[in-house]
Each structure stands twice: as C-alpha cells, then as structure tokens.
Amino acid sequence: MTSAEPVAIEGYASLFGLSDLAGDVVFAGAFQESLARKQTLPLLLDHDPRLVAGRWIEAAEDSRGLYVRGEIDAGARAASLAQRRLREGVDGLSIGFVAKAQSKRPGGGRNLLQLELWEVSLVAFPMAPQARLARRRA
C-alpha cells in the first residue's frame, strides 16, 4: 500500500445484542433514523476529528449489526497514518454517536435503542471487541 492508492475497507462497526466492555448493548433499528439522513460518514482514527482518513461510502443495518464499507482517501490528512496502522494489524472499528433513546441495564450499562451516528473510527482497541474489519483491499 502506498499513500497514493485508495484503500477499501469494510466490516462491522457495531453488533446487535452483544454487550460491549462498558456493558452497553445496541439494538437492531438503533441507527435507522440517523442513516436515513446521512449520505456518507467520516472515517476517523481513534475518534479524533483532526485525523480524518477517508469516508464510509456505505453504512447499513443488517441482521447482524451496522455494516460499513469505505475507503481511505489518499488525499486525506490522516491517510498515511491509517494505512500504516492497517499494515500493523489494527482492525478494530468503533462508533461515535449520541444516544437518543436508551434505558439502564440491570448490573450496569445501557440498552441503546436509538443512536445519532456521527462517525466510525479505526481503532486498536474497540469498546465492542467483535467490531472489526472483515476485508481490506488496496
């Protein structure tokens, strides 16, 4: 991978019905309203708005969770850093959101029923350990 080549990546940024490390559980349908208003989402590194690496071209709910497909844009500020992290094996995904509807879970955490999705980040240690890239192509 060179910094001049676009890099396509895809995977699950969130999985329904599974507790994350904070005890939060995202429910099916939580992203529907937010996704209906958005055309593309920023692809950030570690939720840092200064580290834009590209964009998510597709974000959709399926029976498993929130599937995303995007590209690291060679002209983006953090593209070379994102490509380096991919080469190092970083494959975690994490969602940046605001909870619009939620309830407390017994024992801690939240049931996340409606979320306003702001961005999806490439991270080394996702809060939802199963949220990972499935494929990457140069």
- Given a contact cutoff of 8 angstroms between Cβ atoms, the answer to whether 82 and 54 are in contact is yes
Q: What is the DSSP letter of 91?
A: -
State residue 37 phi and psi, 5-degree precision: -95, -10
Structure tokens at 126: 């996702």
Would you name the residues annotated as active-site residues? 47, 94, 119
**Of 116, 122, 103, residue with least CA distance to 25:** 103
**Of 62, 58, 131, 50, residue with least CA distance to 91:** 131
Distance separating alpha carbons of residues 61 and 72, to the nearest angstrom: 22
Which residues does residue 61 pair with via DSSP β-bridges, in sequence order?
66
